[in-house]
Amino acid sequence: MEMKNNQLYMLVVFLLCLFLKNHFCVGLGADTMFANQSVSGDQTIVSAGGVFELGFFKPGNSSNYYIGIWYKNISERTVVWVANREKPVSDRFLSALRISHGNLVLFDESKITIWSTNVNSTDSSTVHAVLQDNGNLVLKNENHSPKILWESFDHPAHTWLPGSKLGYNNRTKSNQRLISWKNSEDPAPGLYSLELDTSGTNSYKILWNGSKSYWTSGAWNGKIFEMVPEMGFNLFFNFQYVTNANESYFVYYVKDNFTMSRFIMDVSGQIKQLSWLPKDSWNSFWSQPPQQCGVPNFCGAFGICNDKSLPFCNCLMGFEPKSQHFWDLKDYSGGCRRKTNVNCENESLLTNENDDRKQRFVELRNIIYKDPKLYVQLGSSAGCESMCLKNCSCTAYALNGSGCLIWIGDLLNLIELSQDETTGKTLYVRLAASEFGSSRNDEKNRGIYIGVFVGSAAGLAVFLVLVVILIWRPKNKTVGTGIEVEGSLVAFEYRYLQNATNNFSERLGGGGFGSVFKGTLQDSTVVAVKQLQSVNQGEKQFRTEISTIGTIQHVNLVRLRGFCSEGTRRLLVYDYMPNGSLDSHLFGEKNSNILSWKTRYQIALRMARGLFYLHEKCRDCIIHCDIKPENILLDAEFCPKVGDFGLAKLVGRDFSRVLTTMRGTRGYLAPEWISGVAITPKADVYSFGIMLFEFVSGRRNSEPSADGKVAFFPSWAASVTIDGGDVQSLLDPSLEGNADLEELTRVCRVACWCIQDDETRRPSMGQIVQILEGIIDVKVPPFPRSLRVFVDNQETLVFFGESSSSQS
Ligand SMILES: *[C@@H]1O[C@H](CO)[C@@H](O)[C@H](O)[C@H]1NC(C)=O
Ligand SMILES: *[C@@H]1O[C@H](CO)[C@@H](O)[C@H](O)[C@H]1NC(C)=O
Ligand SMILES: *[C@@H]1O[C@H](CO)[C@@H](O)[C@H](O)[C@H]1NC(C)=O
Ligand SMILES: *[C@@H]1O[C@H](CO)[C@@H](O)[C@H](O)[C@H]1NC(C)=O
Ligand SMILES: *[C@@H]1O[C@H](CO)[C@@H](O)[C@H](O)[C@H]1NC(C)=O
Ligand SMILES: *[C@@H]1O[C@H](CO)[C@@H](O)[C@H](O)[C@H]1NC(C)=O
Ligand SMILES: *[C@@H]1O[C@H](CO)[C@@H](O)[C@H](O)[C@H]1NC(C)=O
Ligand SMILES: *[C@@H]1O[C@H](CO)[C@@H](O)[C@H](O)[C@H]1NC(C)=O
Ligand SMILES: *[C@@H]1O[C@H](CO)[C@@H](O)[C@H](O)[C@H]1NC(C)=O
Ligand SMILES: *[C@@H]1O[C@H](CO)[C@@H](O)[C@H](O)[C@H]1NC(C)=O
Ligand SMILES: *[C@@H]1O[C@H](CO)[C@@H](O)[C@H](O)[C@H]1NC(C)=O
């Protein structure tokens, strides 16, 4: 009966609304809910400008419903606030959000209050709730002072929106914190939270389970948080930190007012900033800690974390996820459990070395471990194993000098390093004897098959691989050149490249994507072999991507000859460039062969042609994303060839990597990298402009001065150029003034145009080619504002060299 009445009421309201088109109608786009209204079923409240919407939602495949606020106008349902995080309802038509006793209250199917704003309020019919265009839900009473009784911005969930304060209210003693969801299907408070440190340090921290801090923003110094230097380069957000006796908070705004941006405390344990790209996706362009494995206990007990592969977490050999469901939802915190329990009583009796069932340890190599329980000084390392065996609660041991480290109970925070990092240590984890099978009784198990080869299928797979290797080995002993694939690329075998590079002995250099080694092919061609790091793509996708890169051929681009893709190994084989990379010639020892002005000008022009080809002449436009002297290679005639193109796409647009290189020094990166907007070819134009100044000056764009501060040469160079100063004074002293003044002026002006903040003001690569060729003229450019910002912030910035940034 009541149902019927409700439906009748709703119908009447609906018809009334249609008829009157008034804005009091919940469910028809009204932004206000009055005391006589409710939100139930699929009804929603929509903010006045149509930006946000409030109503019941169901996260992922869960069957639970929650009251939440999400962006109305984007394709991907993105929830920014949840009312009943911990108490879902199952029937949204029988549940209702309404104003009751002056509060906003959520009633479940049985009309029981499961969530309320809980403010002292008179039961007044003038109380109403408004959803604002900034995402704030406000409970107001016009006849009351103050009018605002409650607002959702004071009670954030996991999202921090522009305009909302995140901090500590000293009068109500309430600390606003962002708390992650448990997983993508459960908005209940998870393990990670971000909050203001209330001990007066004026810094924010991320906590694990409300207590253990694993990241801090550093103190506010009036302009930026000290550990977040990239804030200093940001032109797209206004940040403000306020502290007084009443409250301390941090607030931010998006300058253009229409870019959708948000910070979230992610289920990954990282704080992330994202912006909505017009192409229908969230772009996560800032995250801390930058590496997933920097989040404590992320993979749970007996899990192992790897930053260079997906999924980040795996169970150790002999273990399986405690809950496969949560594991599939990327919630790894539950960790892993043994497939077979260690049976101490019986197994410790097995002392015979040849007994198959003797309890053993699996050896994990190149691991970072933490928090051993005990350190025991022993005479020999053999003692470690038996010591661990004797104590049933010992789960693992590691050798350490003449002693051993012992772990008791759960093993946490193990990190697996990749092949090219060799700083790891070895850990021995105890397994039940039966985990090792009974076929190998002669030698200790040496495998580090960490959860990748799980189950008995793994045994079969390994066997098959062995068979294949045994069968194929003799044939390919020395011949193995490889097979032709799409286009002109050669697929090499790993062993062949290993031979060709003399087991990767002659390192030519390294970059963001991996180390490069010199090699010689069978036909005596000298090549450069790049070992890619962190390629998260599958074999097929990798080959597709590579064959695209293989079709790109231009006299000013380094030619890709072939590749290798075996298991997790991904290598690229390029033409070898005898004169190495440009940086050594520009910034190296100045005594020997200085690049003449003529050569520099030619290099700049040809580089521009190579990039023009990449941007505009290929079938798919390729943005290089990493233009710098290290990636410009010189052949025997000093003809420049741009290297490393296409790789940014190959390894995914890894913004955290961009950020690590950006820390403290703007370098070659355009300001839009830090703003979260879409990256266009104009980002390469910016980097090219910075490089032009380096051609002129023969010095790096940023150099630490004696007091450790950064001097950003382009700022000075731009002001000299624009103010009509003496551009000769910018010239590399080792050129001794030998430069064509007209060319020099042209280069400086183009450079200034290239480094404009507004990318639409920057010329295209095609225009740059024409200017450098002298076909079109170049006017005096305006001064790029960001450089001024940089100059202003300069005194607050600490210099982080390449070496310190590449470690993290
Ligand atoms: C609900 O209350 C508001 C203001 O209190 C009033 O203007 C509106 O007409 C009422 N709506 C209904 C359907 O009673
Ligand atoms: C929801 O379930 C379907 C079918 O079971 C599955 O294909 C899909 O990936 C699931 N979605 C999420 C977000 O888990
Ligand atoms: C909603 O999206 C459409 C298409 O993306 C756009 O045209 C419209 O202006 C947007 N409306 C608002 C209020 O943002
Ligand atoms: C609400 O009112 C009660 C009774 O008047 C009072 O004891 C309580 O402190 C008030 N709470 C708040 C948060 O003001
Ligand atoms: C988090 O801390 C609470 C006590 O503060 C404890 O009961 C709970 O077990 C902890 N959670 C984990 C996953 O350790
Ligand atoms: C918070 O308020 C108390 C008085 O209620 C005052 O003594 C204290 O200094 C304030 N704290 C801050 C950080 O201003
Ligand atoms: C703190 O709050 C009191 C009471 O509302 C107010 O009078 C005072 O101006 C506030 N102080 C600051 C610094 O905002
Ligand atoms: C953005 O909004 C603020 C406040 O609503 C306003 O003061 C400012 O002028 C707006 N900025 C732009 C670029 O529209
Ligand atoms: C130890 O082994 C014996 C014989 O194999 C068996 O009967 C007994 O149950 C085992 N003890 C435990 C604790 O598993
Ligand atoms: C095993 O080691 C733990 C931790 O040192 C200790 O508390 C326990 O008594 C030991 N058990 C045996 C049987 O030695
Ligand atoms: C062994 O471990 C102890 C305690 O963790 C540590 O202080 C010591 O430096 C380690 N020794 C070696 C040789 O690693």
Q: What is the DSSP string of 628-677?
A: SGGGEEE-TT--EEE-STTHHHHT---HHHHHHHHTT--TT--GGGGTTP
Residues 6+ apart with CB under 8 A from 66: 56, 57, 58, 59, 82, 83, 84, 85, 88, 89, 187
Q: Which of 331, 626, 684, 732 is catalytic?
A: 626
Atom of ligand 3 nearest to the CA of 73: 1
Atom of ligand 6 nearest to the CA of 248: 13
> Stretch 598-623: mean pLDDT, rounded?
91
pLDDT in tens, 716-748: 888 888 888 888 888 988 888 899 999 999 999
Q: In degrees rounded to 5, what are phi and psi of residue 488?
A: -110, 10
Atom of ligand 10 nearest to the CA of 406: 5
User: By C-alpha distance, which of 155, 112, 148 is closest to 129?
Assistant: 148
Long-range pairs of 73-81 with CB within 8 A, sequence gap ≥ 24 = 74/260, 74/276, 74/280, 75/280, 76/280, 76/281, 76/282, 78/262, 78/282, 79/159, 79/187, 80/52, 80/135, 80/157, 80/159, 80/161, 80/262, 81/135, 81/137, 81/152, 81/156, 81/157, 81/159
User: By C-alpha distance, which of 416, 392, 410 is closest to 335?
Assistant: 410
Taking the C-alpha atoms of residue 194 and residue 166, their distance in angstroms, rounded to an integer, is 9
Q: Is the CB of 238 under 6 A from ligand 8?
A: no
Q: Hey, CA dihedral for 516, 517, 522, 524, is it positive or negative?
A: positive
Q: Is the CB of 345 under 6 A from ligand 9?
A: yes
Nearest residue (by CA) to ligand 9, atom 11, is 346
Whether cis (ω within 30° of 0) applies to the bond prior to 629 is: no
User: Residue 550: pLDDT band by 50, 70, 90 thresholds?
Assistant: confident
> Is 259 or 139 the better-scoring residue by pLDDT?
139
Two structure tokens written together for 442:
């002669």
pLDDT at residue 455 greater than cutoff 60: no
pLDDT at residue 131 greater than cutoff 90: yes
Q: Is the CB of 804 under 6 A from ligand 1?
A: no
Distance 646 CA to ligand 10 centre (A): 56
Q: Where are the domains of the chain?
A: 1-155, 156-290, 292-437, 483-575, 582-804
DSSP H or E stretch at residue 455 = helix 455-472
Q: Is the CB of 375 under 6 A from ligand 11?
A: yes
The pLDDT assigned to 371 comes to 84
Instruction: Report which DSSP code applies to 594.
Output: P
The pLDDT assigned to 456 comes to 43
Q: Is the CB of 343 under 6 A from ligand 9?
A: yes
- Classify residue 344 as left (phi > 0), alpha (psi -120 to 50) or beta: alpha
Q: Is the CB of 401 under 6 A from ligand 11?
A: yes
The pLDDT assigned to 519 comes to 94
Indicate the average pLDDT of the chain.
81
Q: What letters, b where the CB count within 10 A reaches 16 and e where it falls short, cover 159-168?
A: bbbbebbbbb
Q: Judging by beta carbons within 10 Å of its beta carbon (0-12, 13-18, 19+), is residue 190 exposed, middle or buried?
A: buried
The pLDDT assigned to 67 comes to 96
pLDDT at residue 806 greater than cutoff 70: no
Atom of ligand 9 nearest to the CA of 346: 1
Two structure tokens written together for 493:
């075998």
- Classify residue 222 as left (phi > 0), alpha (psi -120 to 50) or beta: left
The matching CATH number, chosen from 2.40.180.10, 3.10.105.10, 3.30.230.10, 1.10.510.10, for 582-804 is: 1.10.510.10
Taking the C-alpha atoms of residue 712 and residue 265, their distance in angstroms, rounded to an integer, is 34
Is 598 known to sit in a ligand binding site? no
User: Which residue from 400, 404, 426 has its CB within 8 A of the most atoms of ligand 11, so it is best to mutate?
Assistant: 400
User: Which residue from 246, 247, 248, 249 has its CB within 8 A of the most atoms of ligand 7, so it is best to mutate?
Assistant: 246
Paired residues of 281 in beta bridges: 277
pLDDT at residue 628 greater than cutoff 70: yes
Atom of ligand 11 nearest to the CA of 372: 5
Taking the C-alpha atoms of residue 370 and residue 212, their distance in angstroms, rounded to an integer, is 15
Taking the C-alpha atoms of residue 175 and residue 780, their distance in angstroms, rounded to an integer, is 52
pLDDT in tens, 151-167: 999 999 999 999 999 99
Distance 246 CA to ligand 7 centre (A): 6
Which ligand is closest in space to the CA of residue 173? 6
Planar angle of CA 53, 57, 58, nearest 5 degrees: 155
Residue reference for tokens 């300069």: 794
Ranking 468-477, 543-552, 600-609, 628-637 by mean pLDDT, the lowest is 468-477
CATH number of 483-575: 3.30.200.20
The total number of residues shown for the chain amounts to: 808
User: Residue 21: pLDDT band by 50, 70, 90 thresholds?
Assistant: very low
Q: Is the CB of 73 under 6 A from ligand 3?
A: yes
DSSP H or E stretch at residue 542 = helix 539-551
The pLDDT assigned to 665 comes to 58
> Stretch 318-333: mean pLDDT, rounded?
92
CB of 393 within 8 A of CB of 409? yes
Q: In degrees rounded to 5, what are phi and psi of residue 408?
A: -115, 135
Classify strands 319-321 and 44-46 as parallel, antiparallel or unpaired. Answer: unpaired
DSSP H or E stretch at residue 160 = strand 159-160
User: Residue 219: pLDDT band by 50, 70, 90 thresholds?
Assistant: very high
CB of 181 within 8 A of CB of 167? no
Residues 6+ apart with CB under 8 A from 58: 64, 65, 66
Taking the C-alpha atoms of residue 207 and residue 204, their distance in angstroms, rounded to an integer, is 10
Residue reference for tokens 């070898």: 576
Q: Is the CB of 340 under 6 A from ligand 9?
A: no
Nearest residue (by CA) to ligand 7, atom 14, is 246
pLDDT in tens, 47-93: 999 999 999 999 989 999 999 999 998 988 999 999 999 999 999 99
The pLDDT assigned to 651 comes to 58
pLDDT in tens, 496-513: 999 999 999 998 887 667
Residue reference for tokens 């499961």: 114
Classify strands 702-704 and 96-100 as parallel, antiparallel or unpaired. Answer: unpaired
User: Residue 28: pLDDT band by 50, 70, 90 thresholds?
Assistant: very low
* Residues near ligand 2 (Cβ within 6 A): 60-61
The pLDDT assigned to 43 comes to 93
Q: Is the CB of 146 under 6 A from ligand 7?
A: no
Instruction: Report which DSSP code applies to 614.
Output: I
The pLDDT assigned to 209 comes to 93
Paired residues of 268 in beta bridges: none
Nearest residue (by CA) to ligand 1, atom 8, is 24
pLDDT at residue 470 greater than cutoff 50: no
Taking the C-alpha atoms of residue 346 and residue 340, their distance in angstroms, rounded to an integer, is 14
Instruction: Report which DSSP code applies to 558.
Output: P
The pLDDT assigned to 76 comes to 87
Q: What's the CATH architecture for 1-155?
A: Orthogonal Prism (2.90)
Distance 155 CA to ligand 7 centre (A): 21
The pLDDT assigned to 263 comes to 94
Distance 113 CA to ligand 9 centre (A): 54
Active site residue 280: no
Q: Do 1-155 and 582-804 come out as alike in CATH topology?
A: no
Which ligand is closest in space to the CA of residue 120? 4
Which ligand is closest in space to the CA of residue 192? 5
